[in-house]
Amino acid sequence: MAYAAYREHPGVLRTAHAAMSKTSPFYVLDVTVCCADALRVRRSIAGCADAGVVRCEPLLHACSTQESDAPCVRLMIRLPITSYADVLHRLIECVPSGEIGRLVSWREHLARCGLRHGH
């Protein structure tokens, strides 16, 4: 199996995570996979309760954690924390390699997409 380890992004404040989680039961998990595997991941995640891909972002550079130089996409998966284990299991089961990123609150995800205050 060729999954990359949890990747922490520089400058992330972990204390804000707990405070924001009280406003919404949803979180967002970033996952990077080859473009050819993206549809398989989307279909598999659709089978998880209340989970789904909310954004698919093509990456212009090759992923250093992948086994090949194939083009990659970053999938942003919205899920309730109770579905976290199920989402990870489905992801690892359906795609041979990828990178599992960090888990952020729904509000933090909206803020990093340019929506102030998560609205």
Give the domain 22-118 fold: Alpha-Beta Plaits (3.30.70)
Q: 63-112, pLDDT tens digit by residue?
A: 554 456 788 999 999 999 999 999 999 999 999 889 999 899 988 888 88
Q: Can you tell me the mean pLDDT for 44-52?
A: 91
pTM of the prediction? 0.73
Mean pLDDT score of the chain, rounded to an integer? Answer: 79
Q: Which two tokens stand for residue 11?
A: 């400058």
3-state secondary structure of 97: strand
CA–centroid distance for 21 within its chain: 16
3-state secondary structure of 20: helix
Q: Can you tell me the mean pLDDT for 46-56?
A: 91
